[in-house]
Chain A
Amino acid sequence: MVEKSIEEINRRINEGNVNVVTAEEMVGIVGELGAKEAAREVDVVTTGTFGAMCSSGVWLNFGHPEPPMKMNKVFLNGVEAYSGVAAVDAFIGAGQLSETEGFDYGGAHVIEDLIRGKSIDLHATSYGTDCYPRKTLDTTLNIYDLNQAIMINPRNGYQKYNVATNGINRTIYTYMGSLLPNYGNVTYSGAGVLSPLSNDPDYQTIGVGTPIFLGGTKGHIIGEGTQHSPETNFGTLMLRGDLKDMSADYIRAANFHEYGTSLYVGMGIPIPILNEQLAQSTAVTDKDVVTNVLDYGVPSRDRPVLRKVNYEELRSGSIEINGKDTPTSSMSSFKKSREIAGELKKWVATGEFFVNSPSQRLPAKATCKPMRQTTRNPLVQDIMARDVVVIDENATFHEAAKMIMENTFSHLPVVSEDGKLSGIVTAWDISKAVAETGCNYVKDIMTKKVLTSNATDPIDIAARNLDMKEVSAMPVIDNDRYVIGIITSNDISKLFARRR
């Protein structure tokens, strides 16, 4: 049994004869020497990751203006920072969007601009008090003018992450990038072999107070991250570091098309090899880190799992989905992750960086719960019209017009001979048919590509689909495409009018 102490490892770092390797190099070493001998040989293993971490932000202290002010609302380059704390502190979140530039500029960009030393416009408002009389403030400042600029990542270092693909027939835009229709591509995130938490999954050395690489400087772990879920192998970390010492090489603003902004955060953790068990866990490979491929085309918290996959398969360039070779894209940079593990290795080897024991272990038993919702979301079946009238595709447009007049519906779902949905006609289609002679039958004038809904869809989804496709009604169909109802934008308006 090999046992080493933190003091022993730090003494070696101090003396300049520490043996430090990256988690990638450790795979070969354990393969060659076995865990026991590797534990004797290697003192520290470094990890690294560089990917989108929306859950990031910076605490800023601006100092007091004259006359003083309790800032209630704070905007930095038009991006709102949260200031519901003391007078001149604010937290700028990576995902907050600019009030004027929308998707193009957000909190992440303010953070990158601060690191780069650029000037930032500050606009603040207040209600005014006896001690803080000032009501508005406009100034320009940069990172050197601030008292503190402390990065906090409430959630970072995900042990691994879900893989995204899309089964519906249009491109969708997500925080996992653009997902092409009909399982056209796959996106993933995470550093696999270099992933910090996958290299010490039992948190033997990773805990409160662990020194880490964060954004190009030394930071610390301050606890478990939000949504920490070690029981499902989705552990996370909360991190702290000084933005003033960070570099734009390792902190980068990002835009996800039609989704929003995020921050790419470079982070690395050194793992002191105290025993063989740690030598074994740091020998984890891309193949050992297994995750799920989810269909992001299903707009629900419980997205269907299509298959399991490991990082070796993901990094090969394509994976099989439904028998088809599907190209993969990484949303996090393995090259940068390697750079970070390499940089951290250099810091340890040259005696600039020491290891220590956590002052508190991270919880090993926890799962991330879904939200408790006390009001039930209405479903399509709660408000759809069930007395829907359908028309045969072989009927004439005169018959369709008559049916619309008699039933006061302005949309008629069209069915084929077997009774299944084949199209839809509206009062407008009929007017057009009257104006442009030549089309006599419903099947000639109907819209064939019908947007449909399921009875158990939440109303929010139905409303979003109606809005995006700019239509005013959708037939509700069952699994065999029989029409069981119809939902109109009017029904939804009524529902909302009732609520307020």
Chain B
Amino acid sequence: MMIKINISSNVIGEPILAESMIETRTALNISQAHFDSTYGEIIAEVETDDFKDIRQALESKGAKVTVLDHPIVRDEEECVECGACISVCPAHVFSFDEDWGIAQDIEKCIQCGTCINMCPHHALSLEK
């Protein structure tokens, strides 16, 4: 499953991510990370069985953990299956199937929204 970890300014200098991984012996597969002096945001994949432990470890150290369970939605009526979305997705959610239709691997979606602007037909949205 995909999770988002937010790290606020008061703990930004501390290695809480590494500590939590070592402590829980959990591997986080980080797909995006943004850090500056005031704020950190990480998108990572974690085994569903390990989620509870890593969340507890991270939150006890001052991070905020959110489950990314609202992946991109494709309106099949609007979509003309051109494939414009394929090359801009950092998580490789979209691809062509063998009939040149759009195949989606929703599990990979990191909800960044890059594909929404790329779609010429307004067929993609992040709905909550």
Contact = CB atoms under 8 A, between A and B. Distances in A.
B95 A317 contact: yes
A330 B80 contact: no
A185 B88 contact: yes
Interface in A249-283: 252-257, 262, 264
A335 B101 contact: yes
Contacts of A264: 80, 82, 120-121
A422 interface: no
Contact of B81 (A52, A255, A317, A335): A335
Contact of B80 (A252, A257, A328): A252
B70 interface: no
The B interface is mostly helix, strand or loop, or mixed, namely: loop
Interface in A312-363: 317, 326-336, 338
Given A317-B95, A331-B120, A336 B81 contact: yes
A191 to B, nearest CB: 11
B125 to A, nearest CB: 14
Nearest to B117: A257
A49 to B, nearest CB: 12
A187 interface: yes
Contacts of B127: none
Contacts of A335: 81, 99-101
Interface residues of B, number: 20
Contacts of A157: none
Given A255-B120, A335-B99, A338-B100, A177 B84 contact: yes
A329 B84 contact: yes
Interface in A154-196: 177-178, 180, 185-187
B82 to A, nearest CB: 4
Contacts of A52: 120
Contact of B118 (A177, A252, A327, A333): A177
B25 interface: no
B61 to A, nearest CB: 32
B84 A330 contact: yes
B87 interface: yes
B83 A330 contact: yes
Nearest to A329: B87
Given A52-B120, A254-B121, A333-B80, A327 B86 contact: yes
A329 B85 contact: yes
Nearest to A254: B120
A264 B80 CA distance: 9
B118 A257 contact: yes
B80 A336 contact: yes
A50 interface: yes
A329 B86 contact: yes
B47 to A, nearest CB: 27
Given A328-B87, A329-B85, A334 B117 contact: no
Contacts of B99: 335
Interface string B78-111: 0011111111100000011001110000000000
A330 B81 CA distance: 9
A50 B82 CA distance: 9
Contacts of A254: 120-121
Contacts of B87: 180, 185-187, 326-329
Interface centre among B84, B95, B96 (most CB of A within 10 A): B84
A329 B83 contact: yes
A108 to B, nearest CB: 10
Given A264-B80, A334-B100, A335-B101, A178 B117 contact: yes
Contacts of B117: 178, 257
Nearest to A104: B122
Nearest to B102: A335
A226 to B, nearest CB: 22
Most B CB contacts (10 A, CB to CB) among A52, A177, A338 go to A177
Of listed A253, A256, A327, A335, residue having the most chain B CB within 10 A: A335
Nearest to A258: B117
Considering residues B80, B95, B101, B120, which has the most beta carbons from chain A within 10 angstroms of its beta carbon?
B120
A286 to B, nearest CB: 12
Contacts of A257: 117-118
B96 to A, nearest CB: 8
Which of B83, B85, B122 is packed against the most chain A CB atoms within 10 Å? B83
A282 to B, nearest CB: 20
A327 B118 CA distance: 14
Contacts of A51: 82
A214 to B, nearest CB: 16
A256 B96 CA distance: 21
16 contacts: A177-B120, A178-B88, A178-B114, A178-B117, A180-B87, A253-B121, A254-B120, A254-B121, A327-B86, A329-B82, A329-B85, A329-B88, A331-B82, A331-B84, A332-B82, A335-B101
Given A178-B114, A180-B88, 7 more contacts: A52-B120, A186-B87, A253-B121, A255-B122, A264-B82, A328-B87, A329-B86
Kindly list the 7 A-B residue pairs having the minimum CB-CB distance in the complex, ordered from nearest.
Answer: A329-B87, A185-B87, A254-B120, A327-B87, A257-B117, A330-B83, A335-B100
Interface of A: 50-52, 177-178, 180, 185-187, 252-257, 262, 264, 317, 326-336, 338
